[in-house]
Chain A
Amino acid sequence: MSVLACAGLDVRIAGIRVVDGLDLDVRPGQFWGLLGPNGIGKTTLLRCLAGLGEPVAGRVLLQSRDIATLPRKLLARHLGMLQQHTAYVFDSSVLQTVLTGRHPHLGYWQREGSADIDKARHALAAVDLAGFEKRSVTGLSGGEARRLAFATLLVQEPDVMLLDEPTNHLDPRHQLKIMRMVSEHVRRADGSALAALHDINLAARYCSHVVMLFGDGAWCAGETGAMLDESSLERLYGCPVERLEGRQGPRFHPAEPGDPGA
């Protein structure tokens, strides 16, 4: 049974067609990559799948229920999203910020209990922010803030993780680490993920499936091995892409049109 699905989904933004008639069926254990050039509407599509924006046509289903009809609090217990940017206007501690991930699980007057605080500390340690609990969020580096946002998503414990460029600002080791943690998440019961990515190789290595947005509403989706090849990637990004065989599977190198061999 699918965790997150959509059928005949038409999404537009400012007159631009993002997808026409998108059919997706995200099942437990699947990690989807969302690929496409800048400004093609990846964030818009993610927002729509998270119930933040309205599709022009079609519905988004979370465990077979239309997300437009679900109360936000219930939705937030099953679906979480890492946004592309996080800006902090008010100062707050790292621990207090990561604990906001427990918000949908707590009642009106309820305070975070020791179990919640344990989860928060555990998530901070998982993203290498142990010991940062009392630090101010406004003093974090870009990569640290990114890992804090991911830790908050972990603490929210959603079934479906939507991630908008999760590896932005991260050093190579942490890029791999975050991708591995998402892979571990989808192996749990009902766990699945969909991540907008610009790194073809991260998608090739970690994603079980990919969906590509070509512009003007055109899209294609399927298993990563079948989808990622030189011709589709060249069509996607408008530049030649060279395929190399690496020890962890195929590697893709974007090239300039004049490069030898391109």
Chain B
Amino acid sequence: MMPTAQRRLLFLLLALLSAASILAATAIGSVNLDAGQWLTALREPASAHGELVWRLRLPRAGAAWTVGALLSLSGCLMQVLLRNPLADPYILGVSGGASFAALLGMTLGASAAVLPGLAWGGALLSIVIVFSLARGEGPWSRTRLLLTGVVTASGWAALISLLLTLGPDGSLRGMLFWLIGDLSYASLPAWTVAVLVVIFIVCIGMARSLNVLAMGETTARLLGEPTRKLLWAVYLLASVLTATAVSIAGNIGFVGLIVPHLMRLLVGSDHRVLLPAAAMFGGLFLVLSDTLARTVLAPRQLPVGVVTALLGVPLFLLLLNRARIKQ
């Protein structure tokens, strides 16, 4: 258990770093603003720099933070649900359904504005398929959920390959960016923030139940949890988080796997600390990754999914190695 003072300090630090990263992201880019220009831009939203900061960079940074937090929370939940530290938000096919629907929309020439809606619809279809096939009678079966989810994800992957093969050449690049995960066209609709806030509060309320659940279903039942209900609730919450993230930014990889892991190594596995820490660090991590994606080869923009993988993998290996030495 982390002492209260230390916990508060950690949360404060992560909140300040998150705010700082978002502010920095509004100043940095293909056009770099110095401190004076940036302050003027903040005060005058109608000016050219003001437009850049308020209309383009701030929504994008906000979207990056939100998506990072959504994916990290979802990763934490999936890991408890499947009782496997290698689980990630995409493992049960939610993102596959979302991607297929979005790519189908692109193939048929749908406008960019309807893509999030299409993606959410595809994700929902996938959630319903997996839920109804895996549920059945009898006790909770993690194996059945995992197999149903993984096989459904493979099915979506096959359909996506089919679309990529048959799709018009002109839309291939857009499709690829979606599959890697990209924030170039991301906006920050209010409902995504609402999804994050509401589910976050629910999760914090059940954080102690998640701690018990992480010790196994039988242990959780013996300690007073109605595990069947709890596990399906965790599945649905994690799926909604993933669907929301994917619908605005595509399949950004590694964040939902690596951030929960990193935070487990740093703060332990008490979900009352882990969930807020993972959400804030995930947001911070994705804002920084996206800022790099915009600037590293400026004026060309990279899909942020490439950067999260390139940053995340070495960071993760380094921390894993340090954790081993400490033991």
Query: Which A residues fall within an 8 A CB radius of B?
Result: 50, 52, 71-77, 80-81, 83, 86-93, 95-97, 99-101, 103-104, 106, 108-109, 111, 136, 139, 156
Contacts and interface: CB of A to CB of B under 8 A. Distances in A.
Interface residues of B, number: 28
B270 A104 contact: no
Given A76-B223, A80-B222, A103 B264 contact: no
B26 to A, nearest CB: 36
Interface in B190-235: 205-206, 208-209, 211-212, 214-216, 218-219, 221-226
B327 interface: yes
B165 interface: no
A80 B224 CA distance: 10
B301 interface: no
A46 to B, nearest CB: 11
Contacts of A108: 205-206
Contacts, number: 77
23 contacts: A52-B222, A72-B224, A72-B226, A73-B224, A75-B224, A77-B224, A88-B215, A90-B79, A90-B264, A90-B269, A91-B269, A92-B214, A92-B269, A96-B269, A97-B215, A99-B1, A100-B211, A100-B215, A103-B211, A103-B223, A103-B224, A104-B223, A109-B205
Given A92-B269, A100-B215, 15 more contacts: A52-B221, A71-B226, A72-B225, A74-B224, A76-B223, A80-B222, A89-B83, A89-B85, A93-B1, A101-B223, A103-B208, A103-B209, A104-B223, A106-B208, A111-B272
A93 B1 CA distance: 7
A103 B214 CA distance: 13
Contacts of A81: 222
Contact of B218 (A83, A88, A97): A83
A191 B213 CA distance: 27
Contacts of A103: 208-209, 211-212, 223-225
B268 A50 contact: no
Nearest to A87: B216
Nearest to A100: B212
